[in-house]
């Protein structure tokens, strides 16, 4: 993937804009390296998109595995009263907490 002529076009300004939008900090001396790595990733995506998948059936799992689920049954007793008995503040069966947003 070192051939820059086949890489998708992306420039450092776009990387800096994306970093700002994503609220991530990329040091000035790392922008060129990040730009190169992103271009490599986009080139790999382009390669994958070029693959012919016309006769390929979509699959959720390559092993055709099925998730074994357990029965949806209550396995514990209701301990609500015990938990609320030790809570600092309860009203009408609800836990009261200090207001944190003005």
* Res. 44 pLDDT band, cuts 50 70 90: very high
**Cβ 15 vs Cβ 34: under 8 Å:** yes
61 or 71, which is more confident? 71
pTM: 0.47
What percent of the chain has a predicted confidence (pLDDT) above 70?
92
- Does the domain made of 4-49 have the CATH classification 3.30.450? no
Average pLDDT over all residues of the chain: 87
SS3 (DSSP) at 12: helix
d(CA 23, CA 16): 10
**Cβ 57 vs Cβ 32: under 8 Å:** no
* Ranges 13-17, 28-32, 81-85, most confident: 81-85
């Amino acid at each position: 993937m070192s051939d820059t002529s086949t890489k998708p076009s992306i420039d450092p300004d776009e990387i800096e804009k994306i970093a700002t939008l994503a609220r991530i900090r990329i040091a000035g001396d790392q922008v060129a390296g990040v730009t190169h790595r992103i271009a490599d990733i986009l080139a790999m995506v382009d390669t994958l998109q070029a693959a012919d998948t016309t006769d390929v059936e979509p699959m959720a799992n390559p092993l055709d595995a099925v998730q074994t689920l357990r029965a949806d049954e209550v396995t514990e007793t209701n301990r609500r009263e015990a938990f609320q008995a030790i809570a600092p503040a309860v009203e009408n069966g609800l836990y009261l907490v200090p207001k944190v947003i003005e």
